[in-house]
Each structure stands twice: as C-alpha cells, then as structure tokens.
Amino acid sequence: MSERVRVQQERLLSNNWYTLKTTRFDFLRSDGQWQTQDRETYDRGNGATILLYQRTRRRVLLTRQFRYPAFVNGWQQLMVEAVAGLLDEADPLSCVRAEAEQEAGVKLREVQPLFEAYMSPGSVTEKLHFFAAEYEDGDLVGAGGGLVEEGEDIARFELDFDAAMRQVEAGEIVDAKTIMLLRWAERHVFGPPPRKGPLLVFIAGPYRSGTGDREDAIAANVQAMQDAALQVAALGHVPVLGEWVALPLIAAAGGRRGDAVWDRYFHPNAQALLERCDLLLRIGGDSAGADAMIKAALACAMPVHYGLASIPTRPA
C-alpha cells in the first residue's frame, strides 16, 4: 500500500490533548490515476479494552463515566463501557491489567486475547486490542474509580448479561467497543438466555480415542459419559449422547465400527443431535471427535462447558 501514497505536506493543528494533523497526499487510484487528497488525522495512540464476566452467575462488570464528546453530540447520560485505556508505553496485556485495577478494582488472573480493530479509521489512528477475562468476587481488591489527576470519575457496577443485551437493543448501551465485547460474549460465553424448562445437554467425550479399539476401553469411555449424564440429570436437565442415537442405527443397518455404514451414521447423527441442544458438556481426555463437536457448538453460538460446576441447577 505504501507505494500508492505520496505525502506532500503534513501540518500540526493541535497537540493540546492528543495530536491533530492535516495532511496533503497523492493517492494512486484503482484506475491508475493519481489524485491529491487532504485529510485530518487524530492520533491518540493505541488502546486496549477488556470484558470482565462471571459465567456461572451470567453477569458482566461494566463502568459508567462522563464522556464530553458524546455529550456535545446529544448523549445526556453517563456512558456505560467496558474497562479500557490507552497503551501509552505499555503492551496491551499490561494495559488491561492495570486499567482493570484502576477503573474497576479487579485484579485479573487469566486473560484471553480476542481480536484487534480500528474503531474509526476514517479520521482516528487508534487501534484497539480486545480481551476478556472471568473474575470471581475475591478478585475485587479495590474500589476502582480511575485516576483523579486524569479527570476520571468512574463507577463500576455488575449487570446481568441478558439485561445488558436488552440495553444494547434498547439503545441504552451505545459504546461501540462494549457492544462488540458483549456480542462476542453472547456467542462464545453465555449463549442465548437460558430456557425456563430443563436444558438439553449434549455430552461429548472420547469414544474410540486412545483405546486401540479394545472393547473394554471403549466401554469405559461410554460409561464415563453415562456417569456424566446421570449427574446432568441430577441437576434437573436432560442429557444426551450421540452414541445413544448413532449406535442403534448402525447396528440396525448391519454396520460395524469403522465401516461405510459407521461413517454414514456416527458423526453426522451426533452433530445433527448437537444442533438441537442447549449446551455442550465436554468431558474426558483427547478426542478428535469430541473436539469437532466443540467446534460445531461454537459455530452455532452454543455454550461449551468443561465441568458440571458451571451448569446451573434447574429450580425444583
């Protein structure tokens, strides 16, 4: 791209808070013609933002603060936002760790990098690094509030995730980075609002993996999944295994493990069943088939759980 841009003149307009410049440059258009253009760029450095959430309680931790540019454009409320800050001289991960403690009083443990995005590429140079992290009540080590010397007056609050999504739909949460993070969490963490009745829980674990096709080892794998099914049922939900559907079909069709009949029924039927479930519970060790079920679940925004503790108990 650099060979298509020839800068003629660059002039500083302001550096009172950040840096505003006007630039005249020539741009090589797709038709092969050079065109002179004038643009202003606002350079405030790059930043990072993080969504703090509690999966089991289905809630997120957000902040409220005054934003003058939004105010002069008609926004008459405090802005609801995810924790965020400019990198300055720090790397993105160090930045979100520091901002989480400064703004929200949260000491982060494991942090998941998500993606990067230019938030207003037509005029602002900033690239934002997005993260997410699960927190526990014990991670709230301070009051937060931000830095007074930087004019920050930030209040943290916890919000039910489904209430947050309703606020997005109602136009009450209007900050772009926060909406992007909440939409990510909807797809990869929480999924749709839980249904009032029992959940249909797909249990995925090793079947043939690591067994050498020994009958006793395969039977032990099936027993482990069925034991998990009993525990899911004890939580008030309906457990299902792909094996419960596929194996009787294969037997009825005269198939055998690993033959063409097996290939026709085993994974395709398991995946069709998965698509009708509310969540996936992954148990056991390595399994390419179970990992393929995880990939399929995530593709349709289905929550994936790796233990029974995070699956809610259905009220009696």
Residue 186, pLDDT > 90, answer: yes
Residue 194, pLDDT > 70, answer: no
pLDDT (average), residues 292-310: 91
Residue 28, pLDDT > 90, answer: yes
Residue 280, pLDDT > 80, answer: yes
Domain ranges of the chain: 2-43, 47-190, 200-310
Give the Cα separation of 197 and 202 in Å (integer).
16
Give the Cα separation of 18 and 20 in Å (integer).
7
pLDDT level of residue 314 (50, 70, 90 thresholds): confident
CATH no., domain 200-310: 3.40.50
Residue of higher predicted confidence among 247 and 314: 247
Q: Tell me the pLDDT of the chain averaged across its residues.
A: 94
Residue 12, pLDDT > 90, answer: yes
Give the Cα separation of 195 and 270 in Å (integer).
22
Q: Using CA of residue 292, residue 192, residue 226, residue 231, what is the dihedral sign? A: positive
Q: Of the ranges 53-62, 95-104, 301-310, which one carries the lowest mean pLDDT score?
A: 301-310
Residue 195, pLDDT > 90, answer: no
How confident is the model at residue 193, as a pLDDT? Answer: 74
CATH no., domain 47-190: 3.90.79.10
